[in-house]
Amino acid sequence: MDTQTQAYSGRAPDRTRRSTRQVLGVVLFLAFVFGVVPAFIAATGRWDFYYTLTSVALLSVAAAGVWLTFYIGRINIGQGAYALAGGYVSTILMTQGGVSFWLTLPLAGLFCALISVLIGWPILRLRGVYFAMVTLVLTEVARLTALALPITNGAKGITSIPLPGGVSVMGVTLIPDFATLENPRQAFYFVAVTVMVLVYLVLWRIVNSRLGHLCRSLQQNEELSASIGVNTAWLRVLAYAISSFFGGVAGAMFVSISQSIYPSSFVVQDSVNFMLYCFVGGLGYVFGPMLGTLLLYFGWDLLQVAGQYQLLIYSGTMIALMLVLPNGVLSLFDRKGAGK
């Protein structure tokens, strides 16, 4: 009895300690990406890192979506399709509808979520490799559709997309016009990182909510969770829609940075890469895809010095990583907390 009360009373401070540690971690992370990284770049003069890191941030947003579908036990190799769709929606709204970029960003996400519900409803009944292969095919479908439709301008794509405009509320400029900035790269970096932080906060919140627990039950045993009254069909469509929303937003941002979009902007290779980012980081960890994206994308960039051996070293490292840490890089930190 005595030990039991001790155990219970010991729980509350433990939890607060843990949440303070989490808050501290988030603050440190924010300080790092918004303060240390720009300072480092300014000090070293490697302005090209901005582009790389912006790409990392955006790719990790799309990878977050893939991770969420992994979380309900589905292998999603179709995120490229939604990134492409999001990019096209944003571009067409901007160039033909004259809509502000900042408005097209959520609209692109919503559009992707909507089509993902239509597509996901039938195909989410598939499992395992079947679902993986259908989503892989979906990326090809998106590319071929973009080639065939008149509005997307076929293989020529859409180029010279305007930079994001300014946003001001009642005379106060919230976001300056990107075209007037002397360093749009840095601005894009800040926007991308903000989007990334928001997305991962949302993801973390989802995973640690009732919805997250339900998703986990789907991952472990779908029949069992359906038998105790979980609406599995609705849940997996919801998770897939959120995932596609992330994909669309990332795609739209990416396009506005490169100021051009082609049917080959996101191909099967990209979809496979999103999946790999999740694997490398670790499927069991919310921040796995972020770390995986950073390692793989940045690593690939750094390996450029290896010249023709770049791909060999890159893939060799990936295989070695798989042999040493088959459950992702973040499983390294698991051993300390193995007792729980």
Partner 1 sequence: MEQIIANGLYLGAQYALIALGLTLIFSLMNVLNFAHGQMYVFGGFVCYTVVAQLGMPFILGLVASALVLGVMGALIERFLFRPVIRRSKRDESTMLLAAGIAFFLDAVILLLFGEKQRGVPKIVNGVFNWDFRLIMPYDRILIGVLAIALIAGFILFMQYSKAGRAMRALAQDRMAAQLMGVDVDRYSMIGFAMGAMLAGLVGALLVTITGVNLGMGGPTSVKAFLMIMIGGASVISGAIAGGFILGMMESVGLSVLSSYGDVTYLVIFATLMVFLAIRPQGLMGKPWG
Which residues make up the interface to partner 1 (CB under 8 A)? Answer: 70, 75, 119, 122-123, 125-130, 132-134, 136-138, 140-141, 144-145, 147-148, 268-269, 272, 275-276, 279-280, 283-284, 308-309, 311-312, 314-316, 318-319, 322-323, 326-327
Q: How far is the CB of 128 from partner 1 (least distance, A)?
A: 6
Q: How far is the CB of 96 from partner 1 (least distance, A)?
A: 23
Q: How far is CA 330 from CA 120, 282, 323, 333, in A?
A: 30, 6, 14, 6
Q: Which is nearer to partner 1, 97 or 326 (CB)?
A: 326
User: What whole-number distance in Å separates Cα of residue 123 and Cα of residue 338?
Assistant: 37
Closest CA to 238 of 68, 25, 51, 92: 68
Least distance in Å: CB of 189 to partner 1?
A: 28
Cβ proximity to partner 1: between 50 and 287 the closer is 287
Q: Which is nearer to partner 1, 28 or 148 (CB)?
A: 148
Provide, rounded to whole angstroms, the least separation between the CB of residue 7 and partner 1: 29
Phi then psi for residue 295, to 5 deg, are -65, -50
In angstroms, give the least distance from the CB of 235 to partner 1: 19
Close Cβ partners of 108 (under 8 Å, ≥ 6 residues apart): 85, 86, 87, 89, 90, 93, 248, 249, 251, 252
Token pair 């359906």 in the structure block, residue:
226
Closer of 103 and 272 to partner 1 (Cβ): 272
Nearer to partner 1, 175 or 318 (CB): 318
- Distance between CA atoms of 76 and 173, rounded to whole angstroms? 40
Of 51, 95, 115, 103, the C-alpha closest to 247 is 115
